Structure 1
Amino acid sequence: MTMKTAPLLYCLAAGTLVLAGCESMSPGKTMSMLAFDQATVPESIRVPAGHKLAWETVGTGEITYECRDKANMAGQTEWVFVGPKAVLADRHGKQVGTYYGPPATWQALDGSRVTATQLAVAPAGTGNLPYQLVKANPAMGSGAMQGVTYIQRVALKGGVAPASPCTPAQKGTREIVKYQADYIFWKAL
């Protein structure tokens, strides 16, 4: 992920995903991170003004695809997205949540979770899922997900439909594809 050059200090609240300003915290309880730079992503997936970075995670996991009939195209088949399953980790590799679906759900270890509605996508390079901006629905449960308004998917590696054939004889076959993406969470100011 591309970052700004001016560092901001953030702390990871014990047991939660929420990052908050920590300039007054004592050494050893802060971690130095660089702020995610909105200017580094396509304009179509930028978060609207009036929101602040809440936290950043790295999702590592898999996406399941199934060979199915193409809609309204008799006798033709294609790989169809079934759902994701990923571990969400902080920038130090510690698990802080999960991502799964359908519906697309981001869940913190404290049990709070959000689903979301896709607003925009943009190409992220050959072989990679697209960049994505989603608008979060109200959080379920109290905890780290409360107040999340938008989620961006950036820094993508892999995840596209399999390159293997999907023929009528293979209908119902499932394949799992590995992927990685950064999920950037935003809250209103």
Structure 2
Amino acid sequence: MNIRNPLLVVATAAALTACGGMMRQPMAYSQDTLPDTVKVPSGHRVAMETVGTGQITYECRAKADMAGAHEWVFVGPDAKLWDRKGTQVGRYWGPPATWENNDGSKLTATQVAVAPAGAGNIPLQLVKANPAMGAGAMQNVSFIQRVATRGGVAPAMACGAQNLGQKQVVQYQADYIFWKQG
């Protein structure tokens, strides 16, 4: 190896070391910018952060209590859950809405609140977790937040008697933040 400028090599190595140290310290998740309705109550800590990417299925159905009217109804999600490093750690599917970790632990949850997330995006959401099935990462999760949503809203195409029962799949992405007591 022919090193022409040893000072440049030392400076470059120092810069890379400094950058590497910064990248190992992930930013702490903050609820500060979220609407109060979807904030997790105090006394909880982030246990896991994931990014869900996948699809939501909607079905054209008759509107309840409105004869002759139709609407797109949420049927269920099917998404992969990725950690912040890009490794698949689980999946999210339903019904019922189920978050499952690759270690086999899984849970369902009950919706507590939603808040608008901007045009074309499914709402932000806070759910209270039911007891987990199986030992693993989902054990003792108390709340799950859906934040940073993109896409996922009902199809723009018309829903009427002519396409009653038709299903449409839309793409979406959202961060799912898992919280535990403590």
Q: Could you say whether these structures have the same fold, taking a TM-score greater than 0.5 normalized by the shorter chain as the test?
A: yes
Cα separation, 1, equivalents of 2:36 and 2:155: 29
Cα separation, 2, equivalents of 1:42 and 1:73: 32
AA in 2 matched with 1:124 = A
Counterpart residue number, 2:77: 84
Cα separation, 2, equivalents of 1:134 and 1:183: 11
Counterpart residue number, 2:146: 153
Q: 1:188 aligned to 2:175? A: no
Aligned residues: 162
AA in 2 matched with 1:74 = A
**How big is the shift at 1:49?**
0.7
AA in 2 matched with 1:37 = S
* Larger fraction in helix: 2
- DSSP 3-state at the match of 1:146: coil
AA in 1 matched with 2:40 = V
**How big is the shift at 1:92?**
1.5
Cα separation, 2, equivalents of 1:48 and 1:31: 28
Q: 1:121 aligned to 2:114? A: yes
The structure with the largest alpha-carbon Rg is: 2
Q: TM-score, normalised by structure 2?
A: 0.87
AA in 2 matched with 1:137 = N
AA in 1 matched with 2:154 = A
Q: 1:75 aligned to 2:68? A: yes
Q: TM-score, normalised by structure 1?
A: 0.83
- Aligned-residue RMSD, C-alpha: 1.3
- DSSP 3-state at the match of 1:39: coil
Counterpart residue number, 1:109: 102
- DSSP 3-state at the match of 2:172: strand
Cα separation, 1, equivalents of 2:37 and 2:59: 29
Counterpart residue number, 1:38: 31
AA in 2 matched with 1:121 = V
Q: Percent identity?
A: 64
- DSSP 3-state at the match of 2:37: helix
Cα separation, 2, equivalents of 1:64 and 1:90: 24
Match of 2:92 among 99, 104, 116: 99
Counterpart residue number, 2:41: 48
Cα separation, 2, equivalents of 1:31 and 1:107: 26
Cα separation, 1, equivalents of 2:24 and 2:123: 30
Q: Which runs of 5+ in 2 are unaligned?
A: 1-19
Q: Which runs of 5+ in 1 are unaligned?
A: 1-26
